[in-house]
Structure 1
Amino acid sequence: MSDQISIRPLSAMFNKAKPYFLMVCLQFGLAGTYIISMATLIHGMNRYVLIVYRNAIAALVLAPFALLLERRRPKMTFPIFLQIMTLGFLEPILDQGFAYLGMKFTSASFTSAIMNAVPSVTFVVAVILRLEHLKIKEVRGQAKIIGTILSLSGALLMTLYKGPVIDLIWSRKASHQGSTGDSSDKHWIPGTLLILVGCVAWSCFYVLQSTTIKKYPAAISLSSLICLAGAIQSSAIALVVEHRPSGWAVGWDSRLFAPLYTGIVSSGITYYVQGLVMKTRGPVFVTAFNPLCMIIVAALGSAILGEQIHLGSIIGGIIIAIGLYSVVWGKSKDYTAASTPAKADDIQELPISAKNCTDGSKLVIATINSDKQDGK
């Protein structure tokens, strides 16, 4: 009897700590995506070939789960098919393609910091398309506006101001041969603009996804189909830009490890863990851990890739993180308001986050009130 009494508190503590532990581990896994992808691009792998392999593996990883867990899927119609193809173009091709190219011109840590602006950009796109009603007089509306301005200001600061190099203890002896810091100085601004284009594409992906998943409410199947569509479309581009057979060859090196890691970890495991945590803690809790990935990438990029960390990147990253939390706080107040009784038709879904990492299979969806619910 005493053993049961002593086990119960431990079980309760484990259940409380489990979401935190899973999200911290997930951020380490997502950070590895940036580092491994950057290392592969430095070694000469074409970014579109990497996109093809990554999304093909992601589709293969998700397909068995979709077949087992979602045996009753909605009917595939032509409009849904077009939306899936558009989603496959927005995220795997535009987002990943521009983000990878911008990463080559800047650094992995810089890219991960800029990607924290995705929730703010998504908020702007949603307001423009009138998918989200903004009440400026309310505190939550002001928090969203301030957070968006801070996030975009942080990205602008990182673009225009680099500042002195910050020498970290573990990076003093690191080799800078694999670093893109010196070779990409003249491409710093274009690289940032490319990453921002990827952010906009990712945000548009989330907005379109929020409407598609209501018409095709099979999340895993939809994710697998998006990755498949991205793999097919990126194959057509990759065959044009990389027609040499050697460019498609993989061996027991980063050319094989990068697609496997990004496809399995960034798609399969990430999707499962995020869905598991969101069931109990919601998407705001998941989003709040995004800046941790930025810190991990900065540390690993400096130690492994020999990347130079500039003062401007640190200040800008902190400003973006503050802006992210401001937007997240404002969205959390939306959930509180949405918890009041309302008709199912009056609720509209819109994704708020991510990643931290560019991946078409992530369905990080938050519930917000529509204009109809607000009485407009």
Structure 2
Amino acid sequence: MKSQVKHISPLKLKAKDNRRKNLIMKGMKPYVVVFVIQTIYAIMFLLSKAAFDHGINNFIFVFYRQAVATIFLIPFVFIFEWKLAPPLSLRTFCKIFLLSFFGITMAMDLNGVGLIYTSPTLAAASTNCLPVITFFLALLLRIESLKIKTVAGIAKLVGIVACLGGAATLAFYKGPHLQLLSHHHHLLGYHKQHDQSHSPSGTWIKGCFFLLLSNTFWGLWLVLQAFVLKDYPSKLSFTTLQCFLSSIQSLAIALAIERDIEQWKLGWNVSLLAIAYCGIIVTGVGYYLMTWVIEKKGPVFLAMSTPLALIITILSSIFLFGDIISLGSILGGFMLVVGLYSVLWGKSREQTQKASQDLEQASS
């Protein structure tokens, strides 16, 4: 008996190949998106530093940034959520006002001051503290738990210690300086070489403190945001209202600190570009992409991509600005990354164990 060879038409083979390619592309999409997100934030650090070195006042910069973000987001609220948004009570409004003040206005103001005193590389490195700080704050508020007798609990404790050690290394140790390029660089017609070796140690430590405090406020914002969203679940309206309130708050702070009208004037320079970029790309595009990634792959997947911003910032600082990177910055950044992954691994292991226990209880 002769065996029959099944003939598959070229069209079916092509359709099968296309389906396989589509599945691969669909699986790759979250990885591409997180790379875009971290690139957006790396560019934000670099542009913000260039704008501050160009002469714009940090507090004025935050006001303009938040005002642009508000103007950009308002049309989307009217289109997508105006009729669906729940009524806003006075109590919820006060919560959002305080959340905006500490989590956005103060966090951005302090981050800007820290960036002025340090470098884009250090600012990017400090963001690796954020998930660890968020976990530590959640631990204090008893939202999270730390069981030090388990492997997961030990991993989270090691992560917190590594994060503290990394922050201390960034602040107090510089070590040898690594200058890979000796020639000058220009970015957007602006040139000013940032040499970490000539930064006064007191100023550098002060900048590290402001960056750490900024990330602490951001961590508190992330933890408390979940409670406020239960009262007001419209995410787009919630984000836009925070941007609006933050722009009012930052305007009041900027007016109290800087009353020279000349400082408020904007020209066609890197400061205007940084304001537009932070207001539209970071707030508008960046926030949307983060929401998409969290929905598709979860918050841990997004948090694990945070070190990408540090790598992109270091490379960009060297090749675009000709920055001199210190060994302390690299070691401190490495310790922060180790701390980040240690805490995330511990949390992931605990969640897996809890899911297994729930499954066993359900089946019994």
Same fold (TM over 0.5): yes
The aligned counterpart of 2:52 is 41
Q: CA deviation at 1:136?
A: 2.0
Which of the two has greater helix per residue? 2
Retained in 2: the 8 A contact 1:105–1:180? Answer: no
User: Which of 196, 216, 221 matches 1:181?
Assistant: 196
Q: Which sections of structure 2, spanning at least 5 residues, go unmatched?
A: 1-10, 186-190, 359-364
TM-score in terms of structure 1 length:
0.86
Does residue 313 (structure 1) correspond to residue 329 (structure 2)? The answer is yes
Does residue 158 (structure 1) correspond to residue 193 (structure 2)? The answer is no
The aligned counterpart of 1:190 is 206
The aligned counterpart of 2:41 is 30
Give the residue type in structure 1 aligned to 2:238: L
Deviation string, structure 1 residues 242-286 (Cα, Å, up to 9, x no partner):
212221111211121111101111111111111112222111111
Aligned pairs (5 A) from 1:8-157 = 8-70=19-81, 71-157=83-169
Does residue 272 (structure 1) correspond to residue 296 (structure 2)? The answer is no
Deviation string, structure 1 residues 57-112 (Cα, Å, up to 9, x no partner):
12222223333332311221112111111111113321111111111111110111
TM-score in terms of structure 2 length:
0.89
Aligned length: 340
Give the residue type in structure 2 aligned to 1:43: H
User: Which of 301, 304, 329 matches 1:285?
Assistant: 301
Relative distance call for 1:334 and 1:60 in structure 2 (3 A) is: farther
Does residue 248 (structure 1) correspond to residue 260 (structure 2)? The answer is no
Give the residue type in structure 2 aligned to 1:255: S
Distance 1:65 1:144 in 2: 40
Aligned pairs (5 A) from 1:214-229 = 214-229=230-245
The aligned counterpart of 2:361 is none
Deviation string, structure 1 residues 35-66 (Cα, Å, up to 9, x no partner):
00000000110111110111111222222333
Structure whose CA Rg is larger: 2
Relative distance call for 1:180 and 1:222 in structure 2 (3 A) is: farther
Q: CA deviation at 1:320?
A: 0.5
Identical columns (%): 34
Relative distance call for 1:21 and 1:243 in structure 2 (3 A) is: same
User: Which of 161, 172, 195 matches 2:182?
Assistant: 172
Q: CA deviation at 1:29?
A: 1.3
Distance 2:25 2:90 in 1: 47
Root mean square deviation, CA, Å: 1.8
Q: Which sections of structure 1, spanning at least 5 residues, go unmatched?
A: 343-376
Paired residue secondary structure (2:196): coil
